[in-house]
Amino acid sequence: MAGFRARFVLGVLLAVGLYLTIFALVNLGYLPPLMERVVVVASIVLVGVYLVRITSSHVVKTFRPLVGQQAVGGGLIIQIIGYILIAVFVLSTLGIPPETALAGGTVTGLVIGFAGQTTLSNVIAGIILLTSRPFKIGDRIAVVTSIIPYQWAFLPGYKFFSRDYVIPAYTGVVDNMSLMYTTLVTDDGLVIKIPNNLILANSAIANYSEVTERERKLRYEFPIDISPETVLNNLREALSEFPEIKDIYLEEQSDKTHYIVVITFEAPVTQWRELKSRLLAKVIEVHREAKQKALA
């Protein structure tokens, strides 16, 4: 970064020094007035190209470790914008009215902008995501947006016993981040490339990797002919070996023949599935024993 700043400042100082030198020589009569314009135009072109190139090179070097060869696209955009500005300055220096030069640059910019509006917005959004870092490669995130079509699963209610709600989102691990797309590998192995401008402007991001521990629920359905008080007592006794458990209580009646018991527990995000599996196995055993006693 320090090297880039030094070269940038050096280029600006050389341009200013060259212009002041030519300006002084022309006013002293050592050079014809036309020479001043020629030197100014040459200085703008040479120094402008130099500054554009070192800026583009710096952007590529900065983002290449993060996005690989995709960083070249960002450098190319900087070169295009820089060369347009240089052309506008040159036309103004050659006597073309600034309004005309700016209009020409504006028209050119509009043509390029409309032609590549989506591409430019994705690249700009990609740069913002890479610098602000709301998530990084390897994080498990959920992209919540109404822009991406999401089909609800038509499943029986009992499929969601351990959830109070279902977030309509694509959830998975961030596999790659480029200037155009963020690649997400979902839990079932589906690879999704999401445009960066959609993530930045029209989405909410839930980053599960930033959460170290969460309270979770395990719900289980018992038949109503088994005493709820007996079930609660048996569960508390059978699950007493798990210090992660926070509470065990009767939540609600699921239908006319069953009621639901809830077990809340806390666990690290990397271990909660294993803990939930062990808890569920214990609860099933309690259910089987209670059922056998009810039939005896």
| pTM listed for this prediction | 0.50
Tell me the pLDDT of the chain (296 aa) as tens digits: 556 667 667 767 776 777 677 767 767 766 676 666 677 777 777 777 888 888 878 777 877 776 665 566 667 677 777 877 777 777 776 666 655 555 555 555 544 554 456 666 777 787 778 777 788 888 888 888 776 655 555 555 555 566 666 667 888 999 887 777 889 998 788 898 888 888 888 788 888 887 766 788 898 999 998 999 999 999 999 999 999 999 999 988 877 888 999 999 998 877 888 999 999 999 999 999 988 887 76
Strand partners, 185: 173, 191
CA atoms within 13 A on the CB side of 109: 16
**Strand (E) or helix (H) holding 117:** helix 117-132
Convert 253-292 to b/e letters by CB count within 10 Å (16 or more is b): ebeeeebbbbbebebeeeebeebbeebeebbeebbeebee
**Widest CA span in the chain:** 119
Look up tokens 């504006």; give the residue: 106
Q: CA–CA separation, 209 vs 171, rounded Å?
A: 12
